Every structure is written in structure tokens, then in C-alpha cells.
Structure 1
Amino acid sequence: MAPLFMPSGAAAVSFRGYTLVTPVVSVGNVGQLTVDLIISTLGLPRVGYIHSDCLVPVVGNNPYATTLENSAEICTSSEVYASTDQKLAVLQIRSPIVQGKQRSFRQQLLSWIKESEFSRVVVLSSSYAHHRVDQQLVGTPLRYLATPALLSVVGDKFQTLKWKEMEKVPAFPGISEVEMELSVPGGGITKSLYADSCTEGIPLAVLLIFCSEGDNIPDALNLLNFLNEWIQLIEKTNDRQPMTQQQWKIPSSWQLLFGSGIPSALF
């Protein structure tokens, strides 16, 4: 059964022809941090949320508050933000999938994607840096995957951008003469979501970065610049230089990203 999309207002919301950007819960939460930057920078309004029993329930204050008045607005575990002008929808997922319900959530998500008739889907993910094989240790930490349905639309766009496709690795590490397979350690449902999308003919791309747990803000900015090379969320001032942190708007909730500091009463 598809998850129930609940619009924020009384009017129905149509995503036909829109681009959908969504994170996958993965190492360092880089996908979610990247989506935070997109929503905050573009000032995307919330248009609804996804109701699914596959996600751990979460509730909190507005993470993108700009005034005292809107800071008290409630946010939940999975909300949808959209821009009519850019035909862009962003699904932010703020909680992990309930254990044992990964497959159900993938089915629900893909069912909603097909029903909504998105023109393309971009999944933002990450993978453990310490699991890289030799050929992944040199050069950029960024990789992509694209389904046949998307490649039939974008053609050689990724080759033009000189992006590196995620390499396949030996099914049994250390043994070269074995079957090669796709592996995304630390990537949550990334691999299975990509495989399902290939089977079901969904035009989907996975953009991911190799990283470790810690301060993952630089990784989020790196992944966002990677995305912006393909989908121009904001116009680059210099084609030869990546976007700087100052050109992306940091959400107010990031002030407490590493806690509220050490209480002065301890000293």
C-alpha cells in the first residue's frame, strides 16, 4: 500500500513533471544535511508530509525557522517541500526506518513516486570511506548511479560532467576472479532502492559521497555542489569554481547540530 501523502492545505497537490530530491538514511546523515541546505537556501514551503508506519515517529520544532513566530511550527519524520516555479519537490526524511520494514518502505516510496508522475528522482546518499577498494581511493569521493530509464532521458550528460560511476567490487573481498557486484556499505536502502527502480523503470539517479561519521557539513556541501552541477538549483557565479558555503543558506536548526554546548554551571 502506498504511503498517504497529506497536503498541508485544503487544495490538492500535483507533482506531475516535477523533479524529486530525497535523502536515504546513511552514514553521517549527509543526504539529510544536503536536503536541509536545499530547503533553507531556496526557501521552499512545506506542501505536505508522508504518512508511513515504516518510519520511526519524530516530532519537533520548525528546523528552518526564520522568525520567532514560525519557530513553533511542528515538523515530523517525513515532509515534502516544493517549488512550483522550479518544478522541484524535496522529501526530507528525519528518522530511520523501523527494523524489518525496509522493503515495505521502498515499495511505498516507489509507489508514491509512480503515482505522482515525477519526471526524475534524485537520491542523496553516502557510503563508508573505510570500505573503499583501491580504485576508489584516488580522486573524487563522489559517485553516481543511474537507472536505464534515466539514462534514456539524460543521454551522455554524466559523461559530459566527467562524473565517476559507482564501481562494482568483488563479491568476496580479496578474490579477483569472482563475480563483481554493487556494494554501498553504510548506505542504508540505497542499493536496494536503486535495484528496485531499475526493475520498475523509474528514472532515478543516486548521488553519493564516501565519508565517515563526524562533522559531515563539508560532505553535505560537497554533495550539494555535485547535485548543482547537474540540476541548477542556484546559478553558479563561476563555472570553474564550486559553490562556497556562503552561497548556501545554513538552516537555523544547525546551531544545535552538535548540542547546546557545555553548561557554565559545571565550572
Structure 2
Amino acid sequence: MEFVLEEGKDLRGECSTLILPALSIGNVGQLAVDLLVASTRAERVAYESSSNGLAFVQQRGPILKGRMIDFAKNFADFIAASGKKHVVVLSSLDFSRWQKVDMSSGLQMYYLSSVNADGTDEACQRLGWKRLEEYNPAHKKWEYLSTLAEGNPQREDSSFCEGGDKDEDYYPSLPFASLFSCLKAKGLKVTCLLCYCSEGDNMSDAFQLAEAACKLVGLNPRNFNGNADGGWVIPFSWQTVYGPPPDICSAIVFVR
């Protein structure tokens, strides 16, 4: 894997927190990063907002089948070498897998952190988020990820990162899990912010996931002074993210 900076640009040491998406259902992570990049008015080097001490990476296309762990390991090497201290991974989860549905307080945010071995983080708990209950570091699939991330020469199972039929296998098979394991193995602080969604127009979910990321890193979206409610700047790319609107035309019905 090769990383190329724009000519004359470099990665600033003060941008020690990196926010990136993991490919997932509904593309909520990518939409949230779009929103954060536009709202912080990040400079394109690989997207940095030095005034906020943040760096961003956007990913559009999927990873080749069976190469997710290789990608995550290479990416983790690059992130560690570039001096990042905290990596925030934004992702969504399949709503059909949600075991305890409670929409009384709106979209529920979940997290997974490298701070403690069991995935907990007091800072995230204080923000009212729940640790991903399905995370079990002793489960064979999570152990398998950790083993590969730490450099064990086991061959990657090409079917591993393509999703699983069993609920307990679903979560470690997702891209965020590989990124989490490989970044953690490099000694980096990693926080995954996760929400459940379905396919469709998930812009509202993206706002909530981006807002959660802001809370985590201590930003107030209202200070962005954007053109949307809450201070956000709507990304230009969102104008056609779900294709052009339907043509407006008159319908003529003949009755006889």
C-alpha cells in the first residue's frame, strides 16, 4: 500500500487525532466523515483541520475480498508512523442484528475502546454511550483477529471478513473490527463509534454519528457556523449522493 501526499503538503504533528470511516451498511461512517470534513473546513493533504487538531481519512470503495486484515495492518502501520495518538473509527451496524430495540431516546450510540481489555472506556460511558455488548475478546473470532493483528503468520481465512451467519460471528467479521484490532496492536488508542441502521437515506444518522465524534474530541458543532441547523456545513457531495431528484412532470389520464 502506498500513501501519497499532495505536493508541498505534510502531515502536521498537532493533528494527533484521526477520524476515519469503516465501510458498513448504509455508509453512515462515510457520510459522517463527509460532514466533519466540510464543517471543519479541513485542508486536503489527506484531510486535516489543524485549528481543531484533527485529521481525516475518507474511504469510498470496498477492500478486495479476503484482504481486509492486510489492509488494516498496512493502514495501522502508516497511522502509527505518522504520529497519530488517537484513532476514531465511525461505522454502522445492521439494524436487524439489534437485540434490544429502544428508540425512546432516539438513535442509540455504541462504542468499543482499546482503553480497557473488555472494550470499555469511562469517558464514553459518561457521554451516555453503551459498550458494544457483543464484543468478547475471548471469542475465537476476536482472538483470531488479534492473533493476525499482532503479526502471527497464520493464513487469513478469505471468508472471514465477508460476514457471518451467526450473530456472534457477525461483529468481528466487519471492517471496523479489523481496524480496531490492528490499530490496538500498534499501541494506539482506538475508539469505534457505532450505530444501528438500515439501507436507505441515512443522512440523519450521519449527523448523529458526526455529533458523537465531536463530543468525543471536545468540539461544539455550533462553532462551525455552517449553513445548516446546529452549525453544520452541508457537504457539496451530498447534493447527488442518492442520485438526482425525480423529474417533475404532468400525468395525463384518459378515462372512457
- Shorter-chain TM-score tier: 0.7 to 0.9
Query: Deviations for 1:182-218, whole angstroms, at most 9, x for unmatched residues?
Result: 8528x83112222233333221000010000011001
Cα distance in 1 for residues equivalent to 2:15 and 2:237: 31
Cα distance in 1 for residues equivalent to 2:10 and 2:243: 38
Contact 1:149-1:202 at 8 Å conserved across structures: no
Contact 1:44-1:82 at 8 Å conserved across structures: yes
For structure 2, list consecutive stretches of 5 or more residues without a partner in the other structure. Answer: 140-166, 252-256
Could you tell me which residue of structure 1 aligns to residue 16 of structure 2? 18
Could you tell me which residue of structure 1 aligns to residue 114 of structure 2? 147
Could you tell me which residue of structure 2 aligns to residue 31 of structure 1? 29
Could you tell me which residue of structure 2 aligns to residue 248 of structure 1? 232
What is the 5 A alignment of 1:181-200? 183-184=170-171, 188-200=174-186
Contact 1:27-1:127 at 8 Å conserved across structures: yes
Among candidates 98, 108, 127, match of residue 132 of structure 1: 98
Q: Give me the TM-score of the superposition, normalised by structure 2.
A: 0.73
Could you tell me which residue of structure 1 aligns to residue 144 of structure 2? none
User: In percent, how many aligned pairs have the same letter?
Assistant: 30
Query: Deviations for 1:207-244, whole angstroms, at most 9, x for unmatched residues?
Result: 0100000110011011112112221333558xxxxxx7
Deviation at 1:108, TM superposition (A): 1.1
The letter of the residue matching 1:255 is: Q
Could you tell me which residue of structure 1 aligns to residue 83 of structure 2? 117
Q: Does 1:206 align with 2:172?
A: no
Could you tell me which residue of structure 2 aligns to residue 6 of structure 1? 4
Could you tell me which residue of structure 1 aligns to residue 241 of structure 2? 257
Q: Cα distance 1:6–1:199, how it changes in 2: closer, same or farther (>3 A)? A: closer
For structure 1, list consecutive stretches of 5 or more residues without a partner in the other structure. Answer: 48-79, 172-179, 238-243
Aligned length in residues? 215
RMSD: 3.1
Cα distance in 2 for residues equivalent to 1:150 and 1:20: 22
Q: Cα distance 1:125–1:111, how it changes in 2: closer, same or farther (>3 A)? A: same
Q: Cα distance 1:85–1:150, how it changes in 2: closer, same or farther (>3 A)? A: farther
Could you tell me which residue of structure 2 aligns to residue 66 of structure 1? none
Q: Does 1:107 align with 2:63?
A: no
Contact 1:23-1:92 at 8 Å conserved across structures: yes
Q: Cα distance 1:249–1:167, how it changes in 2: closer, same or farther (>3 A)? A: same
Contact 2:15-2:50 at 8 Å conserved across structures: no
Specify the SS of the correspondent of 2:36.
Answer: helix
Contact 2:134-2:171 at 8 Å conserved across structures: no
Query: Deviations for 1:9-39, whole angstroms, at most 9, x for unmatched residues?
Result: 2243344661000001100000000000011
Cα distance in 1 for residues equivalent to 2:12 and 2:130: 34
Cα distance in 1 for residues equivalent to 2:222 and 2:34: 19
Q: Cα distance 1:169–1:103, how it changes in 2: closer, same or farther (>3 A)? A: closer
The letter of the residue matching 1:222 is: Q
Among candidates 194, 204, 214, match of residue 228 of structure 1: 214
Specify the SS of the correspondent of 1:89.
Answer: strand
Specify the SS of the correspondent of 1:30.
Answer: helix
Q: Give me the TM-score of the superposition, normalised by structure 1.
A: 0.70
Q: Cα distance 1:226–1:257, how it changes in 2: closer, same or farther (>3 A)? A: same
Whose strand proportion is higher, 1 or 2?
Answer: 1
Specify the SS of the correspondent of 1:253.
Answer: helix
